[in-house]
Amino acid sequence: METLTPLAPETQAKASQGSGLGPGTLDLRQLRRSAKRPVWKRKRSLIVAIPAGFLVFLVAIAPPLPEAKRQGGAPLVTAADGLPFRYLPDSETYALDFDPRAVKIDLLEGWDREQQAFKDRSALAFFSGPMYERQVDGLGKETTVPLGDIKFGDRIWRGRNRTAARQRAFMGIRHDGGVSFGYGELTPARAQEFESFVGGLHSLYNDLEQPPAAYKGAYSISMGQQIRYFLPRIRMAYGLRPDGRIEVLMSRDGLTLEQTRDLARRRGLRAAYLPDHASKSRFIIPGVKGFSDADANWISGGATSFVHVPYLLRLSSRSSTLQGSLLTQLASASGPQGCGNPFQCGQTLGGQLVDRALAGFNRLMERGVEPIARLIWAPRGRDGQKPGANAPFRETPISADPLALQQRQAEANKAGEDSAPGINSLGLPADLPAPLLLPNGAQLDAPPIPPTASDGDGASLPEGSRTETDPGPTVGAPSPGAPPPPALPAPP
């Protein structure tokens, strides 16, 4: 605040004569004019101080860093012992990990096929795929389209919302079995590089690669969606282990965003991505862990209907293993990252500060907003039992469900029924558009090869040939005439 300097005696006399005041007395108007600027400066300082104070408050209430919780102990990563696939449930999660050189990912198409997946003993596991949207063409036909790009072998499903595809993250498996967690869409170069590509993902964190400016994530549409993202939900994540294997986990209870990130770091994952909204979480081990209406209602927070999914990702053994080292690319990308100049150091420090502020905001949502939200969106337990403290909230109606399911749900609500159509009650056929076929040497931008009928090996069928009794393919077929990949060398 500025100080008011006293006027000279001559100036005071002139001012007192002009204003009718006695000598040595200052005009009040002069005092007001001299005080105007300091008041404005005080207001400007408040504009800066309030956001800065709120930022300091968020950083102060942020929970301790996950690394601090792990000092003195090794991360929860166990030796694979040469097993290509392992199911490793514990008290916190249902988890599995696999070697992508010996285990392949395929697409199981069709609505409400969880029970069929549980009985499919030829598969190793099923879990949720990336986000999707419902679109209606000019003829009024509904189709399910993934928001990101998907590639398995020579089959490609391209997201029609190219902006969303570019603004998400991806998990890719190269032809040598190496794994990459990155950002962006399926470009022609990536189509040649990756044998499998799962786009449309949301990044929890990635210690190997900084997100580009184009990355926006999956929860930047509305404030309501972001708030729900921070509240407890059943969480599912794909992760990259230090040994190059892929880990898939689903929490047993509702977790907040920061708790999910902490869980992934405690398990030692180098990167962790969310495949979808929490309400669509699926984790099925054939013959071991299934999926029921009770599970669906639990995941959806006891809502009158569970969230339907149009496809699942399917794990199965490869007929020929991919040749390569899992640690080749991981070792080259996981070196210490420093800052080469003050600008880069400032960016790194700013990113860490923002991350701590988001962790504090998550704590504020968890301890402040969540108790109020539970009064409005009270969760329900299984079979009328009282839900746990971390029970997920109810889910709002999902507009991505097919119109047949939405109409059935509306009729159930109108009739006052307590439950909506159960799992596999309508037997809806698969409605994904026919994939593009990309044989060896073809470019992604080349005209697509029309799909042909399969002899039962799982290749794509012609569009329109699927019926309610033929829900679609489960595995892909290799390109005609392509030699099998070379086998891995014998272990030492």
- Supply 245's token pair: 């294997």
CA–CA dist 30, 36 (Å, integer)? 10
The stretch 176-184 carries a mean pLDDT of: 94
Q: Is the pLDDT of residue 110 over 50?
A: yes
| DSSP reduced 3-state for 155 | strand
The stretch 285-290 carries a mean pLDDT of: 95
pLDDT tens readout for residues 20-32 = 555 555 566 665 5
116-139 burial by CB neighbour count: b if 16+ within 10 A, else e?
bbbebeebbbbbbbbbbbbeeeee
Amino acid 349: pLDDT = 77
Percent of the chain with pLDDT over 70: 64
**Between 314 and 380, the higher pLDDT residue:** 314
- Among candidate residues 260, 258, 218, 267, the one with its CA nearest the CA of residue 235: 260
pLDDT band at 192 (very low <50, low <70, confident <90, very high): very high
pLDDT tens readout for residues 372-426 = 777 776 665 555 556 666 666 666 666 677 877 777 777 776 776 555 556 666 6
Of 10-19, 240-249, 262-271, 342-351, the least confident: 10-19
Amino acid 95: pLDDT = 96
Amino acid 195: pLDDT = 94
Give whichever of 215-219, 229-233, 268-272 has the largest mean pLDDT: 268-272
The number of beta carbons lying within 10 Å of the beta carbon of residue 324 is: 19
Of 5-9, 116-120, 132-136, 271-275, the least confident: 5-9
Would you say the pTM of this structure is higher than 0.75? no
170 contacts 292 by C-beta, under 8 angstroms = no
pLDDT tens readout for residues 49-75 = 888 888 888 888 877 765 544 444 446
Question: At what angle are helices 257-266 and 342-364 packed, to 10 degrees?
Answer: 120
48 contacts 33 by C-beta, under 8 angstroms = no
